[in-house]
Amino acid sequence: MKKIALHWKILIGMSLGLVFGFLMLQINGGSEFIKNWINPFGIIFINLLKLIAIPLILASLIKGISDLKDISKFRNIGVRTILIFIVTTIFAITIGLVSVNIFNPGKGISTETIDRLTSTYANDSGVQAKIAEASAQKNIAPLQFIVDMVPDNIFAAMSNNKLMLQVIFFTVFLGISLLLIGEEKAKPLKNIFDSLNDAILKMVDLIMQSAPIAVFALLANVVVSSGDPDLLYALLKYAGVVVFGLFLMIVFYCLVLYFSTKINPFWFLKKMIPAHVLAFSTSSSAATLPVTMKIVEEELGVDQEVSSFVLPVGATVNMDGTSLYQGVAAVFIAQALGFPLEFTDQIMIVLTALLASIGSAAVPGAGMVMLVIVLESIGFPADKLAIGLALIFAVDRPLDMCRTIINVTGDAMVSIVVAKSVGKVDFSKIKRV
């Protein structure tokens, strides 16, 4: 019998997870059963992926940099990557703002629905935690983000997945120093990292074997954790605008890839399926990173010299889906609560959402924390923040799942474009139009 491809097994796992979740919702104690006995398998899987993210960044980036023949190439890669990240993020926020201004999802929402959403979620610990987290971030000095990139203890940095940029900083520094001490002296350490890199990629393969079961568990849990269906329904128009914008981003990526590299966009999307389903089920670009790296290097023909830098940096700073969502959500909340927005406010949203998406951690729900900062930048009253977040809280998880797909796809697209610009794509692996 022909073996079923892994991505099909994962898709089947997802669908069965959804169906199982809905069935268990009908049974007394079904939700508890999923939370206690099924969800842990999903959490173990996410932990395994996160477990290998830092060692993979270390091994792969050292290998990537020390394979470079000269350092100036690295500067080119760095500058282009950051510039393209900024341009795509601004584009994403603009798409979000244009869509929300055309469809006006917040204008039709009744006061009764607003009251129900407020009474259900405004005092929810999740909403309160996001506001508290945002206010902690807000009091940080302007240059603190640069200070935060430079670790004072690499072991402390490696022990916290939120400090990925610090690990990247150290690794780039070490990689460049290895280049500078010359091939002979660098060889022993380089060999260790090369072999670590191979071993970790094997670990990705092994972990992915359990993906069909893990996504079953994760999706079943999402179903039983979601809110009142009536409230979800009331937010359908808002969610529809976000999803529509995210879909336009996929079209945008495909067009950029087509025009810059002639890659067949459908082939690209098909290759990305395992990363997409993981992003969707884990809602975390960081957890998806090992799989994205493997696909981009092994299947999309991008040289490790480029992917090992662009993808980990992208997972932390380039979040097109998140910034698009922040644009839509900010305007939706303002519309629903009758807070007038000038054109200049919308420009302010573009700027703060750009900075916010850079500052968002690559973990579930991070985008909502930064949304608080976006809302505050346009003068949204602090006492109404909890009500504003309550309006969108019910659909945040499904939208997080969708926007994480875009975050991951954007990183992959940028790594191909940057690699092409420095002649580092193996076109023999790629299907072109």
| CB of 315 vs ligand ASP, minimal distance in Å | 7
Q: How far apart are CA 157 and CA 82, in angstroms?
A: 22
Decide if residue 88 touches ligand ASP (CB under 6 A).
no
| CB of 177 vs ligand ASP, minimal distance in Å | 31
Residues 286-325 that bind ligand ASP (CB under 6 A): 319, 322
Which of 39, 318, 404, 415 forms a contact with ligand ASP (CB under 6 A)? 404
| CB of 353 vs ligand ASP, minimal distance in Å | 11
Which of 39, 261, 281, 285 forms a contact with ligand ASP (CB under 6 A)? 285
Which of 60/404 has CB closer to ligand ASP?
Answer: 404
Count residues binding ligand ASP (CB under 6 A): 16
| CB of 404 vs ligand ASP, minimal distance in Å | 4
Q: Which stretch binds ligand ASP (CB under 6 A): 54-62, 198-206, 363-371, 376-384?
A: 363-371
Decide if residue 283 touches ligand ASP (CB under 6 A).
yes
Decide if residue 365 touches ligand ASP (CB under 6 A).
yes
| CB of 25 vs ligand ASP, minimal distance in Å | 24
Which of 261, 284, 308, 316 forms a contact with ligand ASP (CB under 6 A)? 284
Q: Which stretch binds ligand ASP (CB under 6 A): 70-78, 127-135, 294-302, 396-404?
A: 396-404
Q: In the complex, which residues of this chain contact ligand ASP (CB under 6 A)?
A: 283-285, 319, 322, 360, 362-367, 400, 403-404, 407
